[in-house]
């Protein structure tokens, strides 16, 4: 499947921002299951790409001229291999066993993970866990905040994809299974769901397998991966800080649509993958 993405993020500030810095993880890279045909990141000034600690493509945008707004847009086309279910990795998965503030399991989450999986540590057990979590934490936009932890969402029984993913990571790691946060895009016919999305990957003996709690999907056929990390903070598309600016208004517009995968591919596949 070929996905065409257009992602515009606009920040408006009530006061002038004097300086700002953003860590941007808005550029996908090639992998076993995705091939980037073309990708553009439009920023107010040119920025060199680097790799972050998790191997994601990172742009660090520093602005030291006063500004009232900031527009970041990413767009491109990516081929997804629907049949590829797992990704191999030559780096150790052990670092993804550790907990973070957002993924620290409490007694309730440990108990829940144990009930769903018992002594099983395979894909079927994790699929059971995924479905049970999806049932337990009802998808409810606005019910949690960006810094809500897995345990808080679990106790509140509601959340969004970020909370689903954190809860899954907390459970998997408490079972001794390395697991990581994935941020990216998903294509759905249902316009009600945000196209910006988060899901989890777990390391099962030889490769990373996907678990999308929110959509109950264990096959990542409509998923375009942008970045991975221990939790949301590591993988989120934009993480920034500023001096001045007052109240901020953020608007994000994401369009993900399938395109035909035959004819156009040649013409667009060259150059301009990153700035």
Partner 1 sequence: MLSRTASDLYWMSRYLERAENLARMLDVSYSLSLMPHDGRGDGLDELAMPLLITGTFDDYLELHGQLNAERMLHFFAFDANNPASIYSCLGAARTNAHAVRGRITADMWENINATWLEMRGIAQQGLGGYGISRFCEWVKERSHLFRGATFGTIMRSDSYRFIRLGTFIERADNTLRLLDARYELLGEEDDIDDRSARAYYQWSALLRALSSFEAFAEIYRGSPHARKVAELLLLRPDVPRSLRACLEELNLILSSLPGDNGRPAQRLAAEMDARLRYSSIEEVLNGEEGLHGWITEFIQLVGQLGSAIHISYLEAA
Partner 2 sequence: MSRNFFDEMHDANGDCRAHYREFARWLAETPEEQLAQRRREADLLFHRAGITFTLYGDEQGTERLIPFDIIPRSIPASEWRIVEKGCIQRVQALNMFLADLYHEQRIIKAGIIPAEQVLANEGYQLAMRGLNLHRDIYAHIAGVDLVRDGDGSYYVLEDNLRTPSGVSYMLEDRKMMMRLFPELFSAQRIAPIGHYPNMLLDTLKCASPMDNPSVVVLTPGRFNSAYFEHAFLAREMGVELVEGADLFVRDEKVFMRTTAGARPVDVIYRRLDDAFLDPLAFNPDSMLGVPGLLSAYRSGNVVLANAIGTGVADDKSVYPFVTDMIRFYLSEEPILKNVPTWQCRKPAELSHVLANLPELVVKETQGSGGYGMLVGPAASSAEIEDFRQRIIARPEAYIAQPTLSLSTCPTFVEKGIAPRHIDLRPFVLTGRETQLVPGGLTRVALREGSLVVNSSQGGGTKDTWVVED
Q: Is 18 in the site for partner 1 (CB under 8 A)?
A: yes
Q: Is 98 in the site for partner 2 (CB under 8 A)?
A: yes
Nearer to partner 2, 97 or 252 (CB): 97
Structural contact between residues 170 and 123, judged by C-beta atoms closer than 8 angstroms = no
Nearer to partner 2, 55 or 216 (CB): 55
Q: Is 62 in the site for partner 2 (CB under 8 A)?
A: yes
Q: Is 64 in the site for partner 1 (CB under 8 A)?
A: yes
Within a 10 A sphere around the Cβ of 223, how many other Cβ atoms? 22
DSSP state of 102: G
Nearer to partner 1, 145 or 243 (CB): 243
Q: Give least dist CB 153 to partner 2, A.
A: 18
Nearer to partner 2, 78 or 235 (CB): 235
> Which helix (DSSP H) or strand (DSSP E) does residue 132 occupy?
helix 123-136
> Which helix (DSSP H) or strand (DSSP E) does residue 243 occupy?
strand 238-244
The residues facing 254 across adjacent strands are 7
d(CA 39, CA 154): 37
Q: Residue 46: what are its φ and ψ, rounded to 5°?
A: -70, 140
Q: Give least dist CB 103 to partner 1, A.
A: 36
User: If phi over 0 gives left and psi between -120 and 50 gives alpha, with beta otherwise, what is residue 205?
Assistant: left
d(CA 222, CA 212): 11
Q: Is 243 in the site for partner 1 (CB under 8 A)?
A: yes
- How many positions of this chain bind partner 2 (CB under 8 A)? 24
Residue 156 binding result from partner 1, partner 2, none, given CB thresholds of 5 to 8 Å by partner type: none
Q: Give least dist CB 243 to partner 2, A.
A: 9
Structural contact between residues 57 and 49, judged by C-beta atoms closer than 8 angstroms = yes
Q: Is 30 in the site for partner 1 (CB under 8 A)?
A: no
Both structure tokens of 222: 């409509």
CA 24 to the chain's CA centroid: 12
Q: Is 54 in the site for partner 2 (CB under 8 A)?
A: yes
Q: Is 58 in the site for partner 2 (CB under 8 A)?
A: yes
3-state secondary structure of 170: helix
Residue 18 binding result from partner 1, partner 2, none, given CB thresholds of 5 to 8 Å by partner type: partner 1
Q: Is 53 in the site for partner 2 (CB under 8 A)?
A: yes
Taking Cα atoms as reference points, which of 238, 224, 236 lies closest to residue 76? Answer: 224
Q: Is 257 in the site for partner 2 (CB under 8 A)?
A: no
Residues lying near partner 1 in the complex (CB under 8 A) are found at: 18-19, 64, 243
Residues lying near partner 2 in the complex (CB under 8 A) are found at: 19, 21, 23, 47-48, 50, 52-54, 58, 60, 62, 64, 91-92, 94-95, 97-98, 147, 233, 239-241
């Amino acid at each position: 499947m070929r996905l065409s993405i257009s992602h515009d993020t606009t920040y408006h500030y009530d006061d002038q921002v004097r300086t700002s810095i953003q860590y941007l993880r808005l550029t996908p890279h090639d992998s076993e299951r995705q091939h980037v045909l073309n990708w553009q990141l439009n920023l107010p000034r040119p920025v060199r790409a680097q790799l972050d600690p998790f191997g994601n493509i990172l742009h660090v945008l520093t602005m030291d001229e006063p500004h009232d707004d900031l527009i970041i847009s990413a767009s491109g086309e990516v081929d997804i291999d629907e049949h590829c279910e797992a990704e191999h990795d030559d780096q150790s998965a052990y670092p993804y066993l550790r907990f973070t503030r957002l993924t620290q399991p409490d007694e309730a989450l440990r108990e829940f993970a144990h009930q769903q999986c018992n002594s099983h540590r395979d894909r079927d057990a994790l699929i059971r866990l995924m479905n049970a979590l999806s049932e337990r934490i009802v998808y409810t936009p606005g019910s949690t905040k960006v810094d809500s932890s897995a345990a808080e969402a679990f106790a509140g029984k509601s959340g969004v994809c970020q909370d689903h993913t954190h809860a899954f990571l907390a459970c998997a790691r408490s079972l001794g299974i390395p697991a990581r946060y994935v941020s990216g895009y998903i294509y759905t016919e249902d316009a009600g769901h945000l196209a910006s999305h988060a899901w989890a990957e777990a390391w099962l003996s030889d490769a990373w397998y996907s678990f999308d709690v929110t959509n109950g999907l264990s096959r990542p056929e409509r998923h375009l991966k942008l970045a991975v990390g221990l939790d949301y903070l590591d993988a989120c598309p934009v993480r920034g800080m500023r001096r001045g600016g007052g109240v901020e208004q953020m608007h994000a517009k994401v369009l993900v649509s399938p395109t035909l995968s035959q004819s156009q591919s040649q013409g667009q596949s060259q150059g301009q993958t990153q700035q």
